[in-house]
């Protein structure tokens, strides 16, 4: 092979074959950083060419105006929401409030009718266990006690002796006591038992089937001194007495209470605040 390239006369050799001139110092520049960090040196520019190195990213084009699209309704189990979703918002809010208020009232009525109901103590027949407000005769407090009665408990179990019970009186109570309706008394005699009140040392004591009943909830000053002859309680019947025996119109006057008349067991006093307690 010849060391001389055949080329037309007067032309320069190709840059790849051009021998560099040793008298001209080489030019060089550091490579731009890979990670796009700030450069430390200005890169040399040649005429008509941009500087070497990293360049700023082009700005994002302006976003198109957002057009609100039809969004499908979320699935819900709320029947009110499902039925009113196509109505105007104001009407939907009004309907929602009405349904909420009606639902709350329905829940309260259901609770009062079947679970728990409040009662006010109007007379002194249960003093001093439950207070009534003076100037009513025999009352000791400025405000009547208000109690809560469990209305479903006697659907689950039988009544027990000693419990304070809310019940509807038999018709004879209105005749003998001057008023009937709803009473609050203590359950003393159970079905099949014989109830008797004997006077000992001028105080009345209850005997059940000939055995003296222990009644720590009765103050001696409230036992009274009236005897009551033996009375056998019928099947499905209950014998009721007030804790204030000398001022209580109870089963000694108008007879026993059938199970169907029992409303519930008093389990708490909730008013006034200083009287809050469980029974």
Indicate which residues carry an active-site annotation.
125, 185
Query: Phi/psi class of residue 210: alpha, beta or left (left: φ > 0; alpha: ψ in -120 to 50)?
Result: left
Q: Are 183 and 166 in contact (CB under 8 A)?
A: yes
Indicate the pairing of strand 182-189 with strand 277-278: unpaired
Query: Which residue reads 């950083």 in tokens?
Result: 33
Query: In sequence order, what are the beta bridge partners of 133?
Result: 141
Taking residue 106's Cβ as centre, other Cβ atoms within 10 Å add up to 10
Written as one string, the DSSP assignment of 155-206 is GTS---TT-EEEEEPPHHHHHHHS--SEEEEEEEE-TT-EEEEEEETTEEEE
Q: Are 197 and 228 in contact (CB under 8 A)?
A: yes
Query: Which residue reads 């976003």 in tokens?
Result: 63
């Amino acid at each position: 092979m010849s060391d001389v390239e055949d080329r037309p006369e007067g032309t320069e050799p190709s840059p790849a074959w051009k021998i560099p001139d040793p008298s001209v110092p080489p030019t060089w520049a550091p490579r731009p950083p890979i990670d796009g960090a700030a450069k430390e040196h200005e890169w040399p520019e040649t005429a008509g060419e941009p500087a070497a190195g990293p360049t700023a990213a082009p700005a994002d084009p302006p976003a198109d105006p957002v057009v609100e699209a039809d969004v499908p309704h979320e699935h819900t189990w709320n029947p009110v929401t499902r039925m009113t979703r196509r109505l105007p918002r104001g009407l939907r809010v009004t309907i929602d409030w009405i349904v909420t208020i009606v639902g709350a009232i329905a829940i309260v009525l259901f609770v009062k009718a079947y679970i728990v109901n409040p009662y006010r103590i109007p007379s002194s027949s249960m003093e001093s266990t439950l207070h009534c407000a003076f100037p009513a005769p025999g009352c000791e407090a400025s405000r009547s006690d208000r109690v809560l009665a469990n209305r479903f408990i006697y659907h689950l179990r039988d009544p027990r002796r000693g419990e304070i019970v809310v019940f509807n009186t038999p018709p004879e109570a209105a005749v003998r006591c001057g008023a009937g309706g709803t009473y609050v008394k203590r359950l003393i005699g159970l079905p099949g038992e014989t109830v008797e009140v004997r006077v000992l040392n001028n105080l009345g004591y209850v005997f059940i089937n000939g055995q003296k009943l222990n009644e720590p909830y009765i103050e001696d000053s409230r036992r009274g001194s009236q005897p009551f002859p033996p009375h056998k309680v019928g099947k499905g019947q209950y014998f009721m007495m007030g804790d204030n025996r000398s001022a209580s119109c109870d089963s000694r006057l108008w007879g026993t209470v059938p199970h169907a008349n029992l409303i519930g067991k008093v389990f708490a006093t909730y008013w006034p605040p200083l009287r809050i307690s469980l029974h």
